[in-house]
Structure 1
Amino acid sequence: MRTSIATVSLSGSLTEKLTAASRAGFDGVEIFENDLLASPLTPEEIRDRCADLGLRIELYQPMRDIEAVPPEEFARNLRRARHKFDLMRRLGADTVLVCSSVSPLARDDDALAAAQLSELADNAQEFGVRVAYEALAWGRHVNTYDHAWRIVEAAAHPALGTCLDSFHILSRGSDPRGIEDIPGEKIFFLQLADAPLLAMDVLQWSRHYRCFPGQGGFDVAGLVRHVMRTGYRGPLSLEVFNDVFRQAEAGPTAVDARRSLLVLQEQAGIDELPPRVVPTGVAFAELVTPDAEPLGATLTALGFARTARHRSKPVDLWEQGEARILVNTGPAVPRGGTRIAAVGLESPDPAGAARRAEALLAPVLPRRRAAHDAELDAVAAPDGTELFFCATGRPGSRDWRSDFAPGPRAEDPAAVPAGGPRRVDHLALTQPWHQFDEAALFHRSVLGLGAQESVDVAEPYGLFRSRAVTDADGRVRIALGVGPAPTDDGDRLQHIALATDDVVLAARRFREAGGELLAVPGNYHDDLAALYDLPDEELETFRELGILYDRDERGGFRHCYTRTVGRVFFELVQRDGGYRGYGARNAPVRMAAQRGGRG
């Protein structure tokens, strides 16, 4: 199907918005009136610009407070409308959006509304324009899609149809099954938006918190399936009002928007994509650093051994059990120092995973490879993290570890001492402030991971928002976070959580090996004693080592943190009895302690 995006969904000038929509692969645009009014281009120049970019102007919007008003007011409305219809003819747009009235002059009179909309459609038809009537969720008298359709049906004018908007329908809790009673040819336009499930005024919800399908809590795909059963053949168009999107760069936002529609069409059964290939584990995490010595000291204290060196690049492989860390001293490191640059994901079908990623507009990363290097497909996540699809140790696949020349080993890296970290439990990647929703959609759609509910954490300087994505078995867990305000890239901390069967033993060994654990205030452990009936001896051990504790209905969670190296720190975690969380209640304490000083 054709895809479209409203210019109000993107930031920048109208020209910048059109360019971004075209480059992202959209077929058309809805031109928002304010964007046209602020543009130095004439309607003819905008029409030609769209044609040059391969964009069709699908809709001009909006016209407001038109119907069910006193005769003298309607006469003024018709005069205004005819000016707009003439402008649309110059613009090359043939459909106009008319929103249900919010005017205090509007009357609760469906017959009057139908008669005036019919007369408006008569005038529009003279200019080759169709009128798409939409029920605003906060409309004064018409605020549901079925009510809007009854008025359109009563008007019975060929140039008058309805516009369906997923936000206006789903935010009110309306049953979308009734859409199937509307003839497809009378649905002139379909606008799509998702939103987080919030308890707030619907107008403010609409104006500030809409997002692209798949980023919120609405069943947008289910609504689209109902629309498709009517025989609707118009475009799928995004109309998203969002404070973050209005400030973010238009190009990446347009790509994110297009990705959301590709996934939506897959979910609605309209189009097919390469099938999901869900990762089954973490093959490695790659850290880039300007100075390998402090990072190496931390890894050594954690029990890792430096086992191999890349044959052609300044990259060392550190291993312990199934946990593998690459330390790269080659590329220039931005302000903030050591950071997570790449993640290797175990995949049952690396080539298939790469095909799906590319189909969903993930940038495929070119690699400088020596002739003997393993072929690894890699794509970039929204925050720039490189994702490699790996098949470590799988028969018939070239193992990425063959790129490394083994060094002298004192012991088998696969052997893990009692209590030692044995694999990566999860990765925590703090996102640029404007890419949080984009990152969640990317990891769900491209990687096939399931998303948990967002969690807001109070940190010393605002709210930190986190959302975890994971596979069904918990072998791949990635916690996506965003800080309280736009910050420089160097302020975004990341961490690698390492799973152990005995966090107390692991913490003691780390400290005895010269590692420094993050100090936790005594007030925290005083409160812990009040919250949980823990033995006094265990509480004293927690105080000594800075271990934090959490519990859910499935089990317990013991965890502690190393001091930060650059932008990266490590977490030692012990999950007992099927605990599935990440210790969110303890995050404010950890963040406050880190604010007190970084190593």
Structure 2
Amino acid sequence: MSDLLLQPEHAREPLQDALSDEDNPVGLDGVEFIEYATTRPQALGQVLEMMGFRPVARHRSREVTLYRQGDMNVVVNAHPRDAEGATHGEEAPAISAVALRVRDARAAYRYALERGAWEVPTHPEAMELNIPAIHGVGGSRIYFVDRYREFSIYDVDFIAIPGVDPRPPATAGLHFFGIVQYIGVGRTNDWLEFYEELFGIHAIPDEQRFGIMPAGKLLRAPALQPRNRFMLQVIEPEIDFVESGSERLQRVGLGVPDVLAAVRALRALGMEFMETEAVHTERRGAISKTYLGSVVFELVHSQVDSQ
């Protein structure tokens, strides 16, 4: 969320050095939140709680709830217009947005538009902040947020749930590791160019692999602080047929220092993991079963500062 609409021109932070780093042109500094759109917020909330997230705040004017653990924020958006649009009227939840932390949201937004990104018109209501955004895969949104330290975007738009710890600890050291994106046949190079041109996110060598789901191409995002780096995984289908609109953000990857310990802790909360001959829990990673028709979480062995 930018201060563009919050403060007059003379009161904003200067733009100097905002885009000076060639390796990190928009000043990326990690993921601020992942947003799910759903018409079944209670059911999705139960799944998130099994993954260690806790509801900590509710939006002032919309059917939106903030879930958190450690430094990770997940937004559940059940506002009728948003939920119906992002899920196309289906019951299965959809990852509808990713918010990226950047040094200066206004400058990052302009940088992306100058390089061909499509802007997302926003229509904030009274007392709501206006977060600049561009279009991502499958109708999703990519937000730019520069208020994530002492003053955050949630301080304006959300009301804390009484009696709830606003900073619940992360279960077994969970942290954001990456996002998996399904793409169309022959579209890998298109998406690699998109992420590299707009964000300085580069593909890594094919021999570098993480977790137990190695398909596709891996990309690493730069970050102002190394501990905030994250990965993108773009995966083409194995068959030469793709249904219209099938490109999408498919699942969230969570890093953890000890996968086996994390699986034990999450199973104690009710989460179930895939255990088949082909896909099963091991020290490198694990993957949850699919909930509500679309919600999947992947665990990847990762120290916070080792990506």
Deviation at 1:507, TM superposition (A): 1.0
Query: 2:72 maps to what in 1?
Result: 323
Deviation at 1:481, TM superposition (A): 1.7
Once residues 306 and 30 of structure 2 are traced to their aligned partners in structure 1, the CA distance between those partners, rounded to angstroms, is: 18
Give CA-to-partner distance per residue, 1:140-193, whole Å, 9 cap, x none. Answer: xxxxxxxxxxxxxxxxxxxxxxxxxxxxxxxxxxxxxxxxxxxxxxxxxxxxxx
Instruction: Look up the equivalent residue of 1:471 and give its one-letter code.
Output: P
Q: Which one of 144, 162, 165 corresponds to residue 408 of structure 1? A: 162
Alignment of 1:468 with 2:219, yes or no, is yes
**Is contact 1:308–1:316 with CA below 8 Å preserved after alignment?**
yes
Residues 53-68 of structure 1 aligned to structure 2 (within 5 Å):
none
Give CA-to-partner distance per residue, 1:539-589, whole Å, 9 cap, x none. Answer: xxxxxxx4234xxxxxxxx21111113323111222259765xxxxxxxxx
Alignment of 1:503 with 2:259, yes or no, is yes
Query: 1:36 maps to what in 2?
Result: none
Deviation at 1:492, TM superposition (A): 5.9
**Is contact 1:517–1:560 with CA below 8 Å preserved after alignment?**
yes
Q: Which one of 271, 274, 278 corresponds to residue 27 of structure 2? A: 278
Q: Which one of 27, 42, 52 corresponds to residue 303 of structure 1? A: 52
Give CA-to-partner distance per residue, 1:467-509, whole Å, 9 cap, x none. Answer: 3232263612211222123322459671111222332222112
- Greater share of residues in helix: 1
SS of the residue aligned with 2:296?
A: strand
Query: 2:113 maps to what in 1?
Result: 358
CA RMSD across the alignment:
2.9
Deviation at 1:325, TM superposition (A): 0.7
SS of the residue aligned with 2:28?
A: coil
Deviation at 1:398, TM superposition (A): 6.0
**Is contact 1:559–1:571 with CA below 8 Å preserved after alignment?**
yes
**Structure 1: 4+ residue segments shifted above 6 A:** none
Provide the aligned length of Structure 1 versus Structure 2: 268
Alignment of 1:563 with 2:298, yes or no, is no
**Is contact 1:301–1:509 with CA below 8 Å preserved after alignment?**
no
Instruction: Look up the equivalent residue of 1:342 and give its one-letter code.
Output: A
Instruction: Look up the equivalent residue of 2:297 and give its one-letter code.
Output: F
Q: CA separation of 1:301/1:277 partners in 2, compared to 1, >3 Å: closer, same or farther?
A: same
Instruction: Look up the equivalent residue of 1:512 and give its one-letter code.
Output: A
Query: 1:438 maps to what in 2?
Result: 190
Once residues 42 and 71 of structure 2 are traced to their aligned partners in structure 1, the CA distance between those partners, rounded to angstroms, is: 23
Compare CA radii of gyration and give the structure with the larger one.
1
Query: 1:547 maps to what in 2?
Result: 281
Q: CA separation of 1:548/1:398 partners in 2, compared to 1, >3 Å: closer, same or farther?
A: closer
Deviation at 1:326, TM superposition (A): 0.8
Once residues 464 and 561 of structure 1 are traced to their aligned partners in structure 2, the CA distance between those partners, rounded to angstroms, is: 14
Deviation at 1:322, TM superposition (A): 0.7
Q: CA separation of 1:575/1:298 partners in 2, compared to 1, >3 Å: closer, same or farther?
A: same
Query: 1:66 maps to what in 2?
Result: none
Q: CA separation of 1:341/1:492 partners in 2, compared to 1, >3 Å: closer, same or farther?
A: closer
Query: 1:287 maps to what in 2?
Result: 36
Residues 383-394 of structure 1 aligned to structure 2 (within 5 Å):
383-394=138-149
Deviation at 1:318, TM superposition (A): 0.5
Query: 2:8 maps to what in 1?
Result: none
Once residues 264 and 237 of structure 2 are traced to their aligned partners in structure 1, the CA distance between those partners, rounded to angstroms, is: 31
Instruction: Look up the equivalent residue of 1:477 and give its one-letter code.
Output: M
Deviation at 1:382, TM superposition (A): 4.5
**Is contact 1:316–1:326 with CA below 8 Å preserved after alignment?**
yes
Give CA-to-partner distance per residue, 1:92-148, whole Å, 9 cap, x none. Answer: xxxxxxxxxxxxxxxxxxxxxxxxxxxxxxxxxxxxxxxxxxxxxxxxxxxxxxxxx
Query: 1:596 maps to what in 2?
Result: none
Deviation at 1:280, TM superposition (A): 0.8
Q: Which runs of 5+ in 2 are unaligned?
A: 1-21
Once residues 400 and 319 of structure 1 are traced to their aligned partners in structure 2, the CA distance between those partners, rounded to angstroms, is: 12
Query: 2:302 maps to what in 1?
Result: 575
Once residues 126 and 186 of structure 2 are traced to their aligned partners in structure 1, the CA distance between those partners, rounded to angstroms, is: 39
Residues 201-240 of structure 1 aligned to structure 2 (within 5 Å):
none
SS of the residue aligned with 1:438?
A: helix
Instruction: Look up the equivalent residue of 2:70 and give its one-letter code.
Output: G
Instruction: Look up the equivalent residue of 1:561 and give its one-letter code.
Output: I
Once residues 290 and 570 of structure 1 are traced to their aligned partners in structure 2, the CA distance between those partners, rounded to angstroms, is: 20
Residues 188-267 of structure 1 aligned to structure 2 (within 5 Å):
none
**Is contact 1:281–1:476 with CA below 8 Å preserved after alignment?**
yes
Query: 2:103 maps to what in 1?
Result: 348
Once residues 306 and 450 of structure 1 are traced to their aligned partners in structure 2, the CA distance between those partners, rounded to angstroms, is: 34
Query: 1:78 maps to what in 2?
Result: none
Q: CA separation of 1:482/1:326 partners in 2, compared to 1, >3 Å: closer, same or farther?
A: same
Q: CA separation of 1:337/1:435 partners in 2, compared to 1, >3 Å: closer, same or farther?
A: farther
Once residues 117 and 148 of structure 2 are traced to their aligned partners in structure 1, the CA distance between those partners, rounded to angstroms, is: 26
**Is contact 1:381–1:442 with CA below 8 Å preserved after alignment?**
no
Once residues 399 and 344 of structure 1 are traced to their aligned partners in structure 2, the CA distance between those partners, rounded to angstroms, is: 11
Give CA-to-partner distance per residue, 1:365-388, whole Å, 9 cap, x none. Answer: 011201211231100124432111
Q: CA separation of 1:480/1:510 partners in 2, compared to 1, >3 Å: closer, same or farther?
A: same
Once residues 369 and 567 of structure 1 are traced to their aligned partners in structure 2, the CA distance between those partners, rounded to angstroms, is: 29
Instruction: Look up the equivalent residue of 1:425 and give its one-letter code.
Output: F
Q: CA separation of 1:563/1:492 partners in 2, compared to 1, >3 Å: closer, same or farther?
A: farther
Q: CA separation of 1:307/1:576 partners in 2, compared to 1, >3 Å: closer, same or farther?
A: closer
Query: 1:371 maps to what in 2?
Result: 126
Query: 1:381 maps to what in 2?
Result: 136
**Is contact 2:113–2:119 with CA below 8 Å preserved after alignment?**
yes
Deviation at 1:425, TM superposition (A): 1.0
Query: 2:232 maps to what in 1?
Result: 478
